[in-house]
């Protein structure tokens, strides 16, 4: 007899299946507009739940500490080759469990405890792992920050001034809530001026970079990190890339045995599937539409009198500033969710509210573009966002808008069905 159930989840564990069903329903009945989220293909999900979840494979292809890794080697090597082809780099590590793990590995490989790094301030649009004091990046290393000017754009002169003053060993560029194109060439000039290693974190914009819809960090960055689940539309995970063989070897050692044990082969298999999708001709059309849709969001909200940090967008997101308004980002995000629109509260430059409340909301276009929505739908949605933000406490209006938007979503059903 087997000592493991062979039943499907729906009968093997009705409790868990019920939760999954409810989450599926939530995703299928809300407009997913969190800038860091997307919808994977069924093929990516199939690989994520594949037989590779049973396999341990500490080490790297052809250099494992376990037997039975022939196919593990094959799938990981395929993911590496596809990722290198996408971004035109020589070396890649596809084992990081997340973008934070990827950044942590770069620091572990190239920094000693207490050495300095310079990254974008969290409140100004950066990420926790770019030196925030509450993160390991701010606790283990001597972290400094740069920000944006009064116009909401990165002030490269200020970055140069700070870099010359603090002389970081690593200069981090990339952002979590920045709506404009990042000039990697300028960042490399700054890094060279102070003898720093340039780390480009492209977690948010990787899918656009892959389609030549955003400047590439290569050949400017010494090392590049990314997540795979945002605009790359893959499983949740991270990657690290470089053209420097010496850096690649240090990073490999930092991931394993440095900060991780066995790789998640089922996730790596799903990464390979997602990278294969990025290499298709359809990807460029998708990335172009992501940008067009974000631009429509920005145009409508600006026309309706809302303030956007940096005044617009060049990528997949907008950051709406609520400074001076009598409601917070948290209140706005709750109101929007009640209206069937899922976004996230977000700090804005010179925020006067706490990180728990914030004075902004971040809105992205990648997920709804995956469902097939274009400018017409995004113009309609932008007006509904404006309606909610103009009447944040009008719950009756929110209920009415949600009914309307659920009807809209019926034309763009998630995975072509309404049940899990």
Of the residues 13, 25, 37, 58, which is catalytic? 58
Cβ–Cβ < 8 Å for 25, 414: no
**Dihedral sign, Cα of residue 107, residue 125, residue 28, residue 415:** negative
Residue-wise DSSP of 229-270? SSTT--SS-EEEEES-HHHHHHHHHIIIIII--S--HHHHHH
C-alpha to C-alpha distance for 310 and 321, rounded to whole angstroms: 10
Cα–Cα distance for residue pair 257/243, rounded to 1 Å: 22
**Candidates 55, 82, 188, 230; catalytic one:** 230
Rounded alpha-carbon distances, angstroms, from residue 246 to 34, 108, 251, 369: 37, 14, 9, 39
| Residues whose CB falls within 8 Å of the CB of residue 224, separated by 6 or more in sequence, listed in order | 87, 89, 199, 200, 201, 202, 217, 218, 240, 241, 242
Active-site residue flag, 65:
no
- 3-state helix, strand and coil shares in percent for the chain, rounded to the nearest 5: 50, 15, 40
DSSP letter assigned to residue 50: S
- For strands 116-120 and 142-146, give the pairing: parallel
> Could you give the CA distance from residue 47 to residue 401 in angstroms, rounded to a whole number?
37
Whether the CB-CB separation of 64 and 73 falls below 8 Å is answered with yes
| 40, 55, 107, 201: the active-site residue | 201
List Cβ neighbours of 379 (8 Å cut-off, separation of 6 or more).
Answer: 296, 300
User: Which residue in the list 13, 29, 37, 56 is annotated as catalytic?
Assistant: 56
Sign of CA dihedral 26, 32, 38, 41: positive
Catalytic site residue from 40, 129, 225, 227: 227
Residue 236 annotated as catalytic: yes
Active site residue 13: no
Largest alpha-carbon pair distance within the chain? Answer: 70
Residue 237 near residue 211 (C-beta atoms within 8 A): no
Asked if 230 is an active-site residue, the reply is: yes
Q: Which of 64, 82, 188, 236 is catalytic?
A: 236
Tokens of 399: 């209920």
Task: Based on the residue annotation, tell me whether 295 is a catalytic residue of this protein.
Answer: no
Catalytic residues, by residue number, are: 56, 58, 201, 227, 230, 236
């Amino acid at each position: 007899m087997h000592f493991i159930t062979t039943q499907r989840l729906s009968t093997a564990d009705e409790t868990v299946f019920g939760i999954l069903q409810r989450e599926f329903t939530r995703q299928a009945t809300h407009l997913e507009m969190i800038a860091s989220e997307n919808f994977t293909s069924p093929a990516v999900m199939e690989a994520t739940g594949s037989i590779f979840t049973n396999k341990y494979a500490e080490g790297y292809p052809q250099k494992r500490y376990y037997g039975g890794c022939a196919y593990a080697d094959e799938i990981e090597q395929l993911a590496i080759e596809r990722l290198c082809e996408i971004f035109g780099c020589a070396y890649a590590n596809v084992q990081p469990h997340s973008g934070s793990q990827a950044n942590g590995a770069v620091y572990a490989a190239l920094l000693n405890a207490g050495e300095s790094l310079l990254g974008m301030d969290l409140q100004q649009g950066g990420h926790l792992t770019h030196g925030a004091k509450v993160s390991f990046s701010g606790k283990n290393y001597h972290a400094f920050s740069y920000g944006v000017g009064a116009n909401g754009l990165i002030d490269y002169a200020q970055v140069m001034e700070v870099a010359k003053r603090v002389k970081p060993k690593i200069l981090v560029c990339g952002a979590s809530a920045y709506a404009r194109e990042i000039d990697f060439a300028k960042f490399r000039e700054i890094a060279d001026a102070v003898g720093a290693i340039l780390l480009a974190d492209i977690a948010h914009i990787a899918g656009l970079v892959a389609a030549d819809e955003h400047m590439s960090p290569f050949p400017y960055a010494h090392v590049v990190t990314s997540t795979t689940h945002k605009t790359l539309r893959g499983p949740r995970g991270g990657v690290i890339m470089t053209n420097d063989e010496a850096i690649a070897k240090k990073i490999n050692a930092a991931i394993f045995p440095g900060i991780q044990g066995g790789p998640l082969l089922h996730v790596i298999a799903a990464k390979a599937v997602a990278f294969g999708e990025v290499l298709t001709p359809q990807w460029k059309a998708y990335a172009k539409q992501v940008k067009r849709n974000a631009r429509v969001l920005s145009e409508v909200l600006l026309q309706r009198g809302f303030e956007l940090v940096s005044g617009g967008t060049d990528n997949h997101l907008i950051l709406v500033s609520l400074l001076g308004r009598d409601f917070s980002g948290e209140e706005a995000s709750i109101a929007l969710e009640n209206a069937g629109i899922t976004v996230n509260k977000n700090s804005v430059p010179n925020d006067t509210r706490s990180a728990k409340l914030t004075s902004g909301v971040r809105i992205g276009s990648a997920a709804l573009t995956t469902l097939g929505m274009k400018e017409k739908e995004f113009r309609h949605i932008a007006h509904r966002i404006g309606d909610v933000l103009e009447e944040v406490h009008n719950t009756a209006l929110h209920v009415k808008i949600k009914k309307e938007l659920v009807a809209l979503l019926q034309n763009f059903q998630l995975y072509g069905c309404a049940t899990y």
